[in-house]
Structures are given as C-alpha cells and as structure tokens.
Amino acid sequence: MKNIEALKETLQTPKKVAIVTHRNPDGDAIGSALALFHYLSRRGHDATVIFPSRYPLLFDYLPGTDYIVIDDDHPDNAKKVCEEAEIIFCLDFNSLARIDRIGEVIAAQKTPKVMIDHHLNPDDFADYTYSDPTASSTCEMLYKFISEMMDERDLVDKIIGECLYTGILTDTGSFSYSTSPALYRTVADIYESGIDGTFIQNKIFNGQNEKQIRLLGFSLTEAMRLYNNYNTGIIVLTLHDHRRFRIKRGDTEGIVNYILKMKHMRMAVLMCEREGCVKLSLRSKGAFSVQEIAQKYFDGGGHRNASGGVSHDTIGNTVKKFREIFETYKEQLTAEPDY
C-alpha cells in the first residue's frame, strides 16, 4: 500500500467505519471483516460490518456475528451505514460488482475507500489499495496490515486471532493449497494470541448436521458425473434437489472437493441450479487454472485452484457447455500430473 502513511493519519482519530465484504461470504470474508471490526473497535472507531447476503451459520462461533448488517434483509440500514461512514473498507473482493446493490451505494460515496484483497485483476475504485494475489487469503493480508503496516501486532488478541485463523484455514482448504513459509510464520504468530486451533477446526469441519451428510451422500452417489477422458467430475444439484434437501446457504460447502480426492481427477465442478441461473463452484489440482475458465466463460473468477461463476442458461445447457470447454482444455486436463 503506497500511501499507507496517509491512511494511518486518517485512522489516528475515531471515525465511523463501514466494513464490507462480498456476496455469499465464505470463511475468509467473514473472518477478515470481523477481525478488522474488532481491531478498529479497539482503536476507538465506530465500525459496522455489512454483508450483501447471509452467511453460513457454522461461522456463528466467531465473536461479533450479532452485529453484522445483512443488506438483503436490511437494505435501508446498510445504505445508511455506508452513507454515514467516514471511511469504507472493502475486504476479499476487488470489484464493486461483487457486492451487488450495496456496490452502487458505495460507488456514489466520496468517502475514502480502502481495498484489501488477494484476487487477480483488481478494479481501480479504492483510494487505498492493498492487493496481493500471492497471498493465501485476505486474513493473511489483514494480519500483515495490522502487525506491520499499522505496527500494532500487540492488538492481535485471541478474538482477532480466531477470526484471522478461520479465514486462513478455510481459504487454504485446511493448509492444502496456497501455502508458503510466510503463511506458516503468520499462523505461528496468530497461535501466540491464544487461539485454540482444534476448537476452530472442529467448528468448521465437524459441525455438520444429518441433512448435510445425507446431501453429501446423494451428491456423490446420484448427482456426480465423471468424465474420465478429461479427468473431470461434475456434481449437478437441481431445483428439485434443493427442495428435497431444503438446501440453505452453506449446506453445499466443501462437496465439490470430494471429486478431487480421486487420484486421477484434475478438475471438479459443482453446479447448483437456482431460479433463473446456475451457480458454479470450480476446483482443480496443480497448475490447471479454473480461474481462467470461471472468468472467461462464466462471469466469475477467484483463484487458480478455486473459483466461482454463474451461468444464466439452463442446467442442461450449462453441462453441455462444460463438455465443450473440456475439449478446449483437454491437453492440459490429460497432461502428466504436476502435483
């Protein structure tokens, strides 16, 4: 962040602060937003967290979730917070299009904006930009922001540490990808704040209910299609499946990863049919980039090995489109493994 000194000066006196993250917030979005909320509150600022949509309830263990404003549920309140804010932090997204309606509100404000994000190709909408696509997560970056840029490592206590560790843990797939020596040093520092890593692991990965386990079983036995000639698998959940299992936000989290547990699989896709569109979650192994596919074909993006997108076609046509995409990338999908 080139103009960090100007930002530090701005934050010297208490401010009304809006903290916004992307629609369908994941662990990194939730963890970074709440970590920043607690940090700024300790600095004497009046901070409010805004999510465009609801978050998975498995993250309710994080301190501060009771204070989150959901734009879908309380749009007038969310708009008021942004309009009254003296500074707006944008976390874990790099385009105002990622936050839907509330993005239009933020774009209209002359309020200084700070972007902290690790996705590729950021838009130029912020006054202060900290962008690092090599980082594992926004939470890893936020730790650096607090401890190094703001020089306030001592304010990273157990509560902030729990939030940061949650984002790092989820965005690396429990340290399966996007890791580095610097990340492990960061995690070691966070552990020194007093967090219980086992407690957080259990909350995230061992807190499913019966419905979610049955949905997983259905997804792998009935809804999964394997295209072995392309080392790819697709799980398709239709509107009927959503009604049958009463699928709510967060219920499908992690299902797509099971395809990649098969040794020869290089790409995995989860398609969830919604009213008027199909939501896509893409995962891959090694150097194969699903980010490129999400961005090029499905108005999405993310990371090399984990991305998302949307299709406004039917579920059948979306599957058909993917089969055409397979052919385009066949050489890469069938190459000798680099993992």
Is 339 domain-assigned? no
**Are 232 and 259 in a shared domain?**
yes
Give the integer Cα–Cα distance in Å for 174 and 170: 6
Q: What is the pLDDT of residue 120?
A: 85
Put simply, whether the predicted model's pTM sits higher than 0.85 gets the answer yes
Is 234 domain-assigned? yes
**Are 190 and 221 in a shared domain?**
no
Give the integer Cα–Cα distance in Å for 149 and 313: 45
**Are 216 and 297 in a shared domain?**
yes
Q: What is the pLDDT of residue 226?
A: 97
- By CB atoms closer than 10 A (0-12, 13-18, 19+), residue 200 is buried
**Are 144 and 269 in a shared domain?**
no
**Are 200 and 228 in a shared domain?**
no
Is 217 domain-assigned? yes
Is 101 domain-assigned? yes
**Are 244 and 130 in a shared domain?**
no
Domain end position, chosen among 183, 205, 227: 205
Give the integer Cα–Cα distance in Å for 169 and 124: 29
Continuous H helices in 206-314: 210-221, 239-245, 290-297
**Are 160 and 255 in a shared domain?**
no
Q: What is the pLDDT of residue 121?
A: 87
Tell me: the pLDDT tens digits for 262-287? Answer: 999 999 999 999 999 999 999 999 99
Residue 87's CATH number: 3.90.1640.10
**Are 222 and 185 in a shared domain?**
no
Nearest in space to 105 (alpha carbons), one of 137, 71, 82: 82
**Are 181 and 230 in a shared domain?**
no
Is 296 domain-assigned? yes
Q: What is the pLDDT of residue 207?
A: 84
Domain end position, chosen among 165, 183, 205: 205
Give the integer Cα–Cα distance in Å for 138 and 142: 6
Which stretches of the chain score pLDDT less than 70? none
**Secondary structure class of 200 (helix, strand, coil):** helix
Looking at the 3D structure of the chain, how many domains does it have? 2
Tell me: the pLDDT tens digits for 111-147? Answer: 999 999 999 889 999 999 999 999 999 999 999 999 9
Q: What is the edge-to-edge ordering of all strands in the sheet holding 267-274?
A: 224-227, 232-237, 267-274, 277-284, 306-311, 301-302
Which domain range does residue 317 map to? 210-333
Q: What is the pLDDT of residue 145?
A: 97
**Are 163 and 258 in a shared domain?**
no
- 152: amino acid identity, one letter: E
**Are 268 and 245 in a shared domain?**
yes
Strand-pair category, 267-274 with 277-284 = antiparallel
- Phi first, then psi, for residue 27 (nearest 5°) are -60, -35
Is 338 domain-assigned? no
CB contact set of 87 (below 8 Å; sequence gap of 6+): 10, 11, 15, 16, 17, 18, 111, 112, 113, 114
Give the integer Cα–Cα distance in Å for 246 and 239: 10
Is 266 domain-assigned? yes
The size of the chain, in residues, is 339
Residue 253's CATH number: 3.10.310.30
**Are 153 and 24 in a shared domain?**
yes
Is 18 domain-assigned? yes
Continuous H helices in the chain: 4-10, 27-42, 75-84, 100-107, 138-144, 158-171, 181-191, 197-205, 210-221, 239-245, 290-297, 315-328, 330-333
